[in-house]
Amino acid sequence: MVFESVVVDVLNRFLGDYVVNLDSSQLSLGIWGVLFLKQSQLDIPFKVKAGHIGRLELKIPWKNLYTQSVEATLDEVFLLIVPTASIKYDAEKEERQLQEARQRELQRIEETKQKAAEKGNPKAEKQDTFVEKLVTQVIKNLQVKISNIHVRYEDDVTNPDAPLSFGVSLQNLSLQTADQNWTPCLLDEKAKLFFKLVRLDNLFAYWNVNSENCTFSFVAIQSAIPQDYHFIFRPISANAKLRMNPRSDVDFSSPKVDLVVNLPEVAVELSRPQYVSILELLGSVDMMTRNLPYRKYRPDVAVHTNAWRYVITGVLEVNVKPRLYMWSWQRIRHHRQHVKKYREIYKNKITSKKPAESLLKELEETERTLDIFNITMARQQAEMEASKAGLRIYRPGVKVEEEQSQGWFGWMWSWSGESGTQTKDVKTGGFDELMTPAEKAKLYAAIGYSETAVNPNLPKNFENMKIHFQLNRLSLSIKESREKPEIIQLSVIDLKAMLTQRPAAQAIKISAQLSSFEVSGLPRGKSAPILLSPRHVVGMKDTALLDLMFETNPLDASADQRLRIESQALEIIYDAMTVNSMSAFFMPPKDLQLDELTNATLMKLEQFRDKTSTGLMYIIETQKVLDLKINLMASYVIVPENGFYDPKHNLAILDLGHFQMSSQSRVGLPQLSVGSSTLEDIMSRAYDSFDVQLSSLQFLYTKAGGDWKRARPLRQSAFHILEPVDLKVVFSRAMVVTDSRMPKFKICGELPLLSLRISDDKVRGVLALLSSIPLPENRPAPQTRAPQSSKRGNTPQLTPRRPAIDDLRASIIYGSDEELFFDAPSSPIEDLPFFEASTGSLQGSASDKRLSMVLKDPKKNMTEFLLRFEISKLSIQLCRLSGREEVSVLHLFIDGLGTELKLRTFDMSSYTFLREICLECSEYFGKCIELWLLTLVICLAVYCLHYVF
């Protein structure tokens, strides 16, 4: 039957590169014996040392393929990964793996080009519909059981005195057919909906320090789980319920995919030895990656006896000789001739219906000496030349009559032709060529597909996909060792999330709810202190702690994006012992150097920042309307005396206030017209504005036994140092950023009242409280290599050679600023680095940005930022303690203190104003001091500060 060849082709394509002795004839038997995995390279600098598949069983009912279930079983899969440095270098194997990786990358590029060319093709859209129907039918009739999977990494190179191993293990993963009551049963073809049960059992990850080598016995590994494994996360089990509607294109009563995932508990643990081992592995991976080009020159004898020869040979062969040869005219001429030769051979291949074996072999040999960039460029040039010459281009898996299309499923066995050979089992032509008309009609009827059917317009409110996720409990604990108690434990209780998709409106909606969140610290005695816990407002105990919702293209069409965030109050307690223990836990060992790792991390962060900035600029340029509402209830932080919470000790309380943020609605605004509306009115509308409110921000101090909870809701009390502050801010973002009269960002804020009540007793108490808290131990900073200077000097360069024309143009326009030529080499020899560096290194990216900034055209004097802020009333009251009451000594009043700050591209301007100031000394005079006396006092204070500092 035709499907046998189809399944064989697909299996050979996806498993042939990884499985040894894969025999397609075994498919008819339905059972495959033990298959060994190839020792192929997964990712630099790791390799697969050993692996096997115990059983791979496919039960395919060829006679009733459309009505009976297809059963797939995978059992006892073991994979052992080791560092590349622990495997002896094999030049032939390394070259073969390099070529295989190159061919996979070329195949990926060809498939990407083909998919891009098929965009907007009606035949491709029909293919997508067909594939969608077929996949639905496959899932409907599919039953899967995966069991006993173990992937393990072993490393005795990072730290020979303490070998490490970590891995992931899975006991069972099954997909089973069920009825509408979720009871396992046989497939009911008459049912409009079909149901699947997904079950996950005992999935866990571990990280062992001072571990032993693997015994290659799967039974021994499973029996060692309770005793010998140091878990990263403990065994978890989960279940999911999948309901699918195969007729969702005409039946809108239920979603096409409705998935409910229930995860009872996840426990994550991390100990100090594991953390140190992770840091050591990261440093080792960096060193192994840098050492990969030099592995072939490493002697088989002890390195310390041949160290200088190893270093000299590696640097000469990897860094010096290739660069000298690359910049020679002989090498340039040879490279150009080689590229031209490859282009001609590839053009002959794609224009030949059946290329000769000699041509394919010559093409493969030529590809070995070219990199991916030059191969891709030469292929594009060959295709363009063939198209201009009017030659027919033949592609694998394409009909002779249709050189521009491939037919259904042709891409599944289109091998792109880059290697010059095809798998012998693969037939030419598309999927429709492999089937007889009777088989095609039978398949279309089984999956409910019609070539002439037109997809109906889906309703905008139809939810095509719904995914529900529920996590009952998540715990994260950090401890010094397995025997000691947790330093900190974080608990998340009852997390619910839902994802829905509406394809007609190209909309998605993500919502999440969190019931409880708690953090406990290092225990003292039998109980652990609660450092963070929810404190619900009266009458809101049934409300979720955190409620989040994000939606694109909502149904009411009032905005392009909608974001809602609401949270309840949290009580946060500072515990010095926990904080100090956490600081000691994450402090790296003294002998661990993470310079290269830190540089790589900074480079990734720089790339992430650039991508984020690009995404934000895209959002601004497309002028998306965001409907935003954030409501964060007032949380507060308690800082206790001596660093440990005790109601009998003095306390400092910082109330973070109630934070609210919402976007300003445009509903109800008058219509603008060119004739009647002024330019100022039009410009004021060209902003997305957000209202920000912060209320009841305050700071309190209480002695032992003080009822600060009762005073917290009050506006004034004896415990307040900073009385409740209410802040209102309007943040505006310009839609048009090309007009110099319109600031890109505007902030207009108002603070009605800022009141401070300070007494000598409170000042002494707060200072004493802060000084009583023990701080983490300081460790001297590790000695790191000084950053390389951006100027040339004698520093080896890590950046590629700059085109001379850019340097010449910059020197003509901007003169002879030496900062401009910090990376401009004068000869190829001076451009040789001692060690390889990635082209996206920090120094290279920084030099690219600096040169691009220097060569950029001058800009307008744009207004980048405008700030208007005013404090309506400022009150500072100095008091002294008289008995149990505070008596005011000085009281400073300031009315109307504000500023207007404008930041532009080339300058900055500021305007500050003060309407009225008054200093009252009621205890001695009972009247206001004149302004001239106040000026004298301020001048004396400024002089004293200047004298002190």
Per-residue model confidence as pLDDT tens digits over 812-855: 333 433 333 333 333 333 333 333 434 333 344 444 444 444 44
Q: Are 516 and 555 in contact (CB under 8 A)?
A: no
Q: How far apart are the first and last CA of the chain?
A: 92
- Comparing 614 with 47, which gets the higher pLDDT? 47
Helices 595-622, 842-855: axis angle to 10 degrees equals 40
Beta bridge partners of 164: 155, 209
- Mean pLDDT computed over every residue of the chain: 75
Say if residue 921 is exposed, middle or buried (CB neighbours under 10 Å; 0-12, 13-18, 19+). Answer: middle
What is the band of 269 on the pLDDT scale with cuts at 50, 70, 90?
A: very high
Q: Are 490 and 478 in contact (CB under 8 A)?
A: no
What digits encode the pLDDT tens for the residues 171-198? 999 988 888 888 888 777 777 888 989 9
Mean pLDDT is highest, among 443-447, 773-777, 883-887, for: 773-777
What is the band of 426 on the pLDDT scale with cuts at 50, 70, 90?
A: very low
What is the band of 871 on the pLDDT scale with cuts at 50, 70, 90?
A: very high
- Comparing 888 with 549, which gets the higher pLDDT? 549
DSSP symbol at 318: I
Query: What pLDDT does residue 653 have?
Result: 95
Query: What pLDDT does residue 849 have?
Result: 45
Query: What pLDDT does residue 121 have?
Result: 55
Q: Is 76 left (phi over 0), alpha (psi -120 to 50) or beta?
A: left
CA 656-662-665 angle, 5° bins: 160
What digits encode the pLDDT tens for the residues 245-267? 877 777 788 898 899 999 999 99
Across 906-927, average pLDDT: 79
Query: What pLDDT does residue 67 have?
Result: 65
The CA R_g of the chain, rounded to the nearest whole Å, is: 35
Share of the chain above pLDDT 70, in %: 66
638 phi and psi angles, rounded to 5 deg: -110, 120
Query: What pLDDT does residue 855 have?
Result: 41
CA 816-821-824 angle, 5° bins: 135
Which of 236-245, 559-568, 801-810 is the least confident region? 801-810
Distance CA 163, CA 161 (A): 6
Letter string b/e over residues 345-361, b meaning 16 or more CB atoms within 10 A of that residue's CB: bbbbbbbeeebeeeebe
Query: What pLDDT does residue 59 have?
Result: 80
- Given a cut of 60, whether residue 339 has pLDDT beyond it is yes
Query: By 3-state DSSP, what share of the chain in percent is helix, strand and coil, each rounded to 5?
Result: 35, 30, 35
Q: Is 506 left (phi over 0), alpha (psi -120 to 50) or beta?
A: left
Nearest partner of 280 among 154, 152, 159, 155, judged by Cα: 159
Query: What pLDDT does residue 925 have?
Result: 56
Across 361-382, average pLDDT: 89
Q: Which residues contact 587 (CB under 8 A, 6 or more apart)?
A: 779
305 phi and psi angles, rounded to 5 deg: -90, -15
Say if residue 794 is exposed, middle or buried (CB neighbours under 10 Å; 0-12, 13-18, 19+). Answer: exposed
329 phi and psi angles, rounded to 5 deg: -65, -30
Query: What pLDDT does residue 94 have?
Result: 79
Share of the chain above pLDDT 90, in %: 28
- Given a cut of 80, whether residue 567 has pLDDT beyond it is yes
Nearest partner of 516 among 556, 443, 567, 442, judged by Cα: 567
Distance CA 404, CA 117 (A): 9
- Given a cut of 90, whether residue 1 has pLDDT beyond it is no
Across 404-425, average pLDDT: 40
3-state SS, 259-315, equals EEEEEEEEEEEEEHHHHHHHHHHHHHHHHHHHHHHHHHHCCCCCHHHCHHHHHHHHH
Query: What pLDDT does residue 599 have?
Result: 63
Which of 68-77, 212-221, 495-504, 537-546 is the least confident region? 212-221
- From residue 774, alpha-carbon distances to 636, 640, 780, 895 in Å are 21, 11, 18, 41
Mean pLDDT is highest, among 94-108, 221-235, 868-882, for: 868-882
Query: What pLDDT does residue 833 have?
Result: 38
65 phi and psi angles, rounded to 5 deg: -65, -30
Nearest partner of 463 among 501, 407, 412, 494, judged by Cα: 501
Q: Are 145 and 199 in contact (CB under 8 A)?
A: no
Distance CA 547, CA 401 (A): 58
Mean pLDDT is highest, among 799-808, 888-897, 923-932, 940-949, for: 888-897
Q: 698: part of which helix (H) or strand (E)?
A: strand 687-702
Written as one letter, the residue type at 4 is E
- Given a cut of 60, whether residue 215 has pLDDT beyond it is no
Alpha helices in 318-461 (DSSP H): 321-326, 329-350, 357-367, 372-388, 437-447
What digits encode the pLDDT tens for the residues 458-489? 788 888 899 999 999 999 999 998 888 999 99
- Given a cut of 90, whether residue 400 has pLDDT beyond it is no
- From residue 586, alpha-carbon distances to 11, 583, 597 in Å are 46, 6, 16
The DSSP secondary structure of 584-600, one letter per residue, reads HHTSPPTT---HHHHHH
Across 893-901, average pLDDT: 91
What digits encode the pLDDT tens for the residues 278-317? 988 888 887 888 888 888 888 777 766 777 888 888 899 8
Query: What pLDDT does residue 194 have?
Result: 84
Looking only at the bridges linking them, the beta strands covering 561-567 and 570-573 are: unpaired
Query: What pLDDT does residue 438 have?
Result: 67
Distance CA 523, CA 715 (A): 36
Q: Are 83 and 155 in contact (CB under 8 A)?
A: yes
Query: What pLDDT does residue 604 have?
Result: 60
Distance CA 50, CA 91 (A): 19
Query: What pLDDT does residue 225 have?
Result: 47
Across 134-139, average pLDDT: 63
Query: What pLDDT does residue 538 have?
Result: 55
What digits encode the pLDDT tens for the residues 499-519? 999 988 889 999 999 999 999
- From residue 196, alpha-carbon distances to 132, 145, 256, 302, 874 in Å are 18, 13, 13, 59, 66
- CB count within 10 Å of CB 515 equals 16
- Comparing 229 with 876, which gets the higher pLDDT? 876
Nearest partner of 909 among 900, 917, 919, judged by Cα: 900
Nearest partner of 722 among 748, 693, 749, 751, judged by Cα: 751
- Given a cut of 80, whether residue 878 has pLDDT beyond it is yes
Query: What pLDDT does residue 139 have?
Result: 66
- Given a cut of 80, whether residue 866 has pLDDT beyond it is yes
Query: What pLDDT does residue 131 have?
Result: 59
Mean pLDDT is highest, among 13-17, 282-286, 318-322, 580-584, for: 580-584
- Given a cut of 70, whether residue 397 has pLDDT beyond it is no
Query: What pLDDT does residue 780 have?
Result: 55
Q: Give CB contacts under 8 A, 24+ apart, made by 406-413.
A: 406/114, 406/430, 407/431, 407/432, 407/433, 408/127, 408/130, 408/131, 408/432, 409/127, 409/131, 411/111, 411/114, 412/9, 412/10, 412/13, 413/9, 413/10, 413/13
Distance CA 809, CA 724 (A): 60
Query: What pLDDT does residue 749 have?
Result: 94
Which of 416-425, 545-554, 712-721, 926-935 is the least confident region? 416-425
Q: Are 558 and 549 in contact (CB under 8 A)?
A: no
Distance CA 150, CA 206 (A): 11
Query: What pLDDT does residue 601 have?
Result: 61
- From residue 557, alpha-carbon distances to 174, 672, 783 in Å are 42, 21, 58
Q: Are 457 and 472 in contact (CB under 8 A)?
A: no
- From residue 143, alpha-carbon distances to 60, 652, 899 in Å are 11, 61, 70
Total-model pTM: 0.73
Q: Which residues contact 198 (CB under 8 A, 6 or more apart)?
A: 173, 174, 175, 239, 240, 241, 242
Cis-peptide into 752, omega within 30 deg:
no
